[in-house]
């Protein structure tokens, strides 16, 4: 079975998605050692899986203890989670980083338009100050591909960030400010800016720097501080090569090659109907060379239009770099 990036990123319908997901499942059930063993210990015969709803999802914790690979190609890059002191980090070994690049570039274009139309500003101190961040890899590339002279990082130099934002506002330049939550709050505690056209995209949590906040309270403070109507978010993690995006209100949509399902927290192999809360399972077909079927430690629900919301995390889950706010 010879699947290509074109197969993944040219999906146009639910039928296309389901057919490719089943093909990738068969491939990974045979070639990904840890996934094959997991399926075996569940007593599931991979040959009897005929629908996406029957596919077993690999618990995300396996990325902390095993090398999750479904081919023997050399590893080009290893992304790692931030974790906290004393906790094991997740490692995602990527044998074809071009898949990741195509995934985030095509998804951004789908939700926001051409990268070259934007200036990208990044306020990501926690991510910048460690190695192995997939988010920093993506932001570096977005900054480079934007080719805007003012695109760049702002570590703790908030005065310079303010000057840059005011300058871009005066030029009516499309601008994305992507920031870790606590750093965005630090900025607006010192500065108010009325920039309605600005896209403020928060990612990650407080990193132990601040008390966690419910999303409504957080977004209310950020919308007021930046003078915007809504706060955008991205839902991604070390173990995935794709992201879902929220253009406001904490409601996320997936690109065509990614899908979220909700599992029963009391029966992890059973799925919940739309509107019910449960554990978030992610199908990420860009993960063709690792595992595309991941059971996360996030809680959520799916809306009637197939958008989804993240409602928190399992109580016993590790506090990780991608932890999301409890509503």
Tell if the pTM clears 0.75, that is, is over it.
yes
In this structure, the strands spanning 232-235 and 251-253 are unpaired
Give the residue ranges of the chain where pLDDT is below 50. 317-327
Distances (CA, A) of 218 to 206, 246, 292, 307, 313: 11, 15, 32, 21, 17
pLDDT, residue 219, reads 93
In this structure, the strands spanning 308-313 and 199-203 are unpaired
pLDDT, residue 70, reads 97
Average pLDDT over the chain reads: 92
Rounded Cα–Cα distance for residues 252 and 4 (Å): 27
Note whether 151 and 98 are within 8 A (CB): no
pLDDT, residue 315, reads 63
In this structure, what token pair is assigned to residue 289?
A: 């060379």
pLDDT digits (tens, 9 = 90+) for 10-44: 999 999 999 999 999 999 999 999 999 999 999 99
pLDDT digits (tens, 9 = 90+) for 272-299: 999 999 999 999 999 999 999 999 999 9
Cα Rg of the chain, angstroms: 20
Task: List the one residue out of 118, 134, 295 whose CA is nearest residue 203.
Answer: 134
In this structure, what token pair is assigned to residue 244?
A: 């879902």
């Amino acid at each position: 079975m010879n699947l290509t990036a074109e197969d993944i990123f040219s999906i146009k319908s639910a039928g296309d998605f389901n057919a490719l997901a089943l093909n990738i499942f068969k491939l990974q059930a045979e070639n990904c050692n840890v996934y094959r063993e997991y399926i075996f210990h569940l007593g599931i015969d991979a040959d009897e899986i005929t629908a996406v709803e029957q596919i077993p999802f690999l618990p995300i914790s396996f990325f902390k203890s095993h090398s999750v690979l479904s081919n023997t190609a050399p590893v080009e890059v290893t992304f790692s989670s931030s974790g906290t002191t004393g906790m094991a980090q997740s490692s995602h070994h990527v044998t074809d980083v071009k898949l990741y690049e195509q995934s985030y570039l095509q998804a951004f274009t789908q939700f926001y338009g051409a990268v070259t139309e934007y200036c990208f500003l990044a306020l990501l101190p926690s991510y910048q100050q460690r190695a192995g961040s997939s988010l920093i890899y993506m932001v570096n590339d977005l900054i480079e591909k934007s080719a805007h002279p003012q695109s760049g990082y702002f570590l703790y130099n908030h005065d310079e960030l303010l000057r840059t934002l005011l300058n871009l506002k005066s030029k009516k330049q499309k601008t994305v400010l992507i920031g870790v939550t606590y750093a965005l709050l630090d900025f607006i505690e010192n500065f108010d800016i009325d920039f309605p056209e600005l896209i403020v995209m928060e990612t990650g949590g407080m990193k132990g720097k601040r008390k966690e906040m419910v999303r409504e309270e957080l977004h209310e403070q950020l919308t007021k501080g930046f003078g915007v109507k809504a706060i955008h978010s991205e839902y991604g993690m070390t173990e995935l090569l794709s992201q879902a995006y929220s253009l406001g209100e904490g409601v996320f949509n997936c690109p065509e090659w990614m899908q979220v399902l909700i599992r029963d927290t009391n029966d992890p192999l059973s799925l919940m109907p739309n509107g019910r809360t449960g554990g978030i399972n992610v199908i990420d077909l860009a993960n063709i060379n690792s595992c595309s079927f991941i059971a996360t430690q996030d809680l959520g629900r799916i809306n009637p239009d197939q958008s989804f919301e993240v409602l928190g995390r399992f109580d016993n889950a590790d506090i990780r770099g991608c932890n999301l706010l409890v509503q």
